[in-house]
Structure 1
Amino acid sequence: MIIDSLTNIEFYEAINPDIYAGLVFIKNADPEIALGEYPLTEKAKAVVMEYETQIKNDFGYEAHRHVIDVQYCIKNQERIPWSNLKRLTPHTEYNEQKDATFYSMIEPQGEVVIGNDIFAVFFPEDAHAPVYCAKEPGYIKKIVIKVKV
């Protein structure tokens, strides 16, 4: 897992061009960008979504086998607890179509608050629990970069 500032995105150009393309998209995105999917590279796309954050989510942690998630809120903030998969017990079967397995919620190994220049990168071994409010429940607009691995 990576937690970093958008001011450091040039560092990622040499590490992974698909993650870098996603970070450039995030940095240049207008907060009024339309909801939906935006292709970026052969391996990466951006998904723009909005929803109401909550005190807790109803599904626990999620993890993906075939994508890296780069997550950033372009309107407001979201708190995302995270944990390594080895600590967790799945409560759903792997859904190949959605590339997701959901895991029971336990004490996280850490949390990140995304938005206000801070983004997070979740690798396949990084289970993450989105939808949590940073302070109070409320509206967020978020960009998730999906990078195929």
Structure 2
Amino acid sequence: MIVDTLANADKYTSIHPLFAKAFKYIKSQNLAELEIGKTDIAEGLKAIVSDKAGMPAADSIAKFECHNKNIDIQLCIRGNETIGWKPRSTCASQRGEYNPEKDVVFYNDAPDMYFNLTDNQFAIFFPEDVHAPMIAVNDQPIKKLVMKVQI
């Protein structure tokens, strides 16, 4: 997992061949004006924009997830988002089977730690990072952009 600000995004472009395109796309957008929805950016690169109320920690942890075929770059555009995290290698209780169509597997485990993202801060979640995003106090709104980067 990586947590940083958009000002430092260029440090991460060599991690994966599509990261340069992902961050170029992000930086070329008027983030405040991005419309909600999904957009295919390139082969293996998708943008998903949401703007909705955050949820209580228990609701997010109920969907404690990770992916096998994608890396998530999750950017907070507006709001104050709390995210739970735990290494997949220490998770002990998988819930259900891996869903290859949605590229998701859920866990019953609890996060080891929590951190906050606010405007122009991002987290990168690799397949070994189980995460519980969109946690907010009092259902505060969070606008975010998730870049799905196919491995």
TM-score (norm 1): 0.88
CA distance in 2, matches of 1:123, 1:102: 15
CA distance in 1, matches of 2:68, 2:17: 20
CA contact (8 A) 2:50 2:144 kept: yes
User: What residue identity is the alignment partner of 1:96?
Assistant: P
- 1:7 is displaced (CA, Å) by 0.6
Equivalent residues in 2 for 1:65-104, closer than 5 Å: 65-88=68-91, 89-104=93-108
Equivalent residues in 2 for 1:7-18, closer than 5 Å: 7-18=7-18
Q: Deviations over 1:24-78 (max 9, x none)?
A: 3223332121111222222211111122112222524101000000001212121
Equivalent residues in 2 for 1:1-149, closer than 5 Å: 1-30=1-30, 31-56=32-57, 57=59, 59-88=62-91, 89-106=93-110, 108-133=111-136, 135-149=137-151
Distance 1:136 1:23, change over 3 A: farther
Residues 45-54 or 55-64, more deviating: 55-64
CA contact (8 A) 1:71 1:114 kept: no
SS at match of 1:147: strand
Residues 19-28 or 29-38, more deviating: 19-28
TM-score (norm 2): 0.87
CA contact (8 A) 1:3 1:112 kept: no
Q: Percent identity?
A: 34
Q: Which runs of 5+ in 1 are unaligned?
A: none
- Could you say what the CA RMSD is over the residues aligned between the two structures, in angstroms? 1.7
CA distance in 1, matches of 2:27, 2:114: 22
Q: Which runs of 5+ in 2 are unaligned?
A: none
Give the structure with the larger helix fraction: 2
SS at match of 1:130: strand
Q: Give the count of matched residue pairs.
A: 147
4+ runs of 1 displaced by more than 4 Å?
Answer: none
- 1:100 is displaced (CA, Å) by 0.5
CA distance in 2, matches of 1:114, 1:22: 19
User: What residue identity is the alignment partner of 2:115?
Assistant: V
